[in-house]
Amino acid sequence: MVLKPNILSGESPEKNISPHPEVFRAVAKAFSNMGATLSYGDSPGFGNPKSNAQRGGFGKVADEEGVAWADFTNSRMMQFPEGKVIKKFSIAEGVAASDGIISISKLKTHALTRITGAIKNQFGCIPGARKAEFHSVMPTVSLFSQMLVDLNLLLKPRLFIMDGIIAMEGNGPRNGSGRKMNLLLLSTDPVALDTVVCRLINLDPKLVEPLVYGEQFGLGTMTDIDFVGDPVEDFIVPDFVVNRSSKKTTTGTSFLATSFLRRYFFFIDTFKSEIFTKCGRCVEVCPAQPKALSWSGEGKSKPPVYDYAKCIRCYCCQELCPFNAIYVKVPLLGKFIRS
């Protein structure tokens, strides 16, 4: 069985980007004690998967608990004729060869899907740069969300565990702030789990498109949820910092309207010049063809600039900037039209 923590980028656990390695340890111990043979891994948006896991503290725990590294670099094409929008996926060999996935996510915000939780964690089962291709061919939140649901229906993780002991609010999934919530959530239904997360952070779950399509496509339920454990009411954080301002981007929107929404409602704003480091990761990871980010000065003398006409609003640059220099703004016009 493969343990799939959402590692994203190998950072110190104190940054709250990933599930805490001690949560990973507890899960590994629990399944080892039941006799499971375990491996683990994740494919980040940038960098070497195993190095990221080592830097994030997962390698040390895995060594101590006898959990082997799974192959998240090579891939195998898996056919999925039942898929609503994607009929085949290139899946990490370590996942494709396993007899089950235990998905370990982090309770945190996400610029594209508002939260990144149980459903979105499986995106890391697609190796490296192939993930970026999905942003190009699924350039709306609706399509991207449907793809995520297809992916979950194909992979069918056996259990979804979420670390919400210290969650991330604000500029997630990488550069947000820690928020103590004292939560550990478990479910066999990722739609139910993420719906409960929405309730906990005072977010209308209908605004989270992977949930809407997850229920529509039969991945799980948003309404018929049985609770076991402490009462949810005791853990609600009404002022959790998350994007609640917009209506759901729906399918069936006309092409003209979709273009309009993407142009005026979603844009990546600016670089914080005082901490700008010219690392160039945002330019490197931009999946748009041609790239929507480029250097504006000779020899990287000035920050990269956006070409919004080319930008597909995938938020990869915001997600993967290691220095919190990129953030998302909803312009006044957008707020006005959405209200």
Nearest to 320 by CA among 266, 271, 282, 289: 282
Cβ pair 148, 140 in contact under 8 A? no
Q: Does 89 bind ligand SF4 (CB under 6 A)?
A: no
Whole-number minimum distance, CB 205 to ligand SF4, in Å?
25
Among 66, 280, 297, 331, binds ligand SF4 (CB under 6 A): 280
Q: What SS3 state is found at 210? A: helix
Q: Does 262 bind ligand SF4 (CB under 6 A)?
A: no
Among 50, 120, 174, 281, binds ligand SF4 (CB under 6 A): 281
Whole-number minimum distance, CB 145 to ligand SF4, in Å?
16
* Token pair listed for 99: 């007899």
Q: Does 179 bind ligand SF4 (CB under 6 A)?
A: no
Report how far residue 21's alpha carbon sits from residue 42's, in angstroms, rounded to the nearest whole number: 13
Residue 205 DSSP code: G
> Quick one: which segment of 9-17, 85-93, 250-258, 320-328 binds ligand SF4 (CB under 6 A)?
320-328
> Quick one: which segment of 32-40, 167-175, 188-196, 270-278 binds ligand SF4 (CB under 6 A)?
270-278
Whole-number minimum distance, CB 265 to ligand SF4, in Å?
13
Q: Does 295 bind ligand SF4 (CB under 6 A)?
A: no
Among 182, 279, 289, 333, binds ligand SF4 (CB under 6 A): 279
For ligand SF4, the binding residues in 127-166 under the rule CB under 6 A are none
- Give whichever of 94 and 334 is closer to ligand SF4, judged by the CB atom: 334
Nearest to 193 by CA among 152, 155, 244, 136: 152
Among 323, 327, 328, 337, binds ligand SF4 (CB under 6 A): 323
Q: What SS3 state is found at 68? A: strand
Q: Does 8 bind ligand SF4 (CB under 6 A)?
A: no
Q: Does 240 bind ligand SF4 (CB under 6 A)?
A: no
Under 8 Å CB-to-CB from 59, ≥6 apart: which residues? 50, 53, 69
Q: Does 96 bind ligand SF4 (CB under 6 A)?
A: no
Among 278, 329, 335, 338, binds ligand SF4 (CB under 6 A): 278
Q: Does 271 bind ligand SF4 (CB under 6 A)?
A: yes
Amino acid 284 reads E
Under 8 Å CB-to-CB from 312, ≥6 apart: which residues? 135, 136, 139, 262, 287, 288, 292
SS (H, E, C) 257-303: HHHHHHHHHCEEEEECHHHCCCCCHHHHHCCCCCCCEEECCHHHCCC
Q: Does 277 bind ligand SF4 (CB under 6 A)?
A: yes
Report how far residue 293's alpha carbon sits from residue 224's, in angstroms, rounded to the nearest whole number: 44
- Applying CB under 6 A, the residues found at the interface with ligand SF4 are 268, 271, 276-282, 286, 288, 292-293, 304, 306, 311-317, 321, 323, 325-326
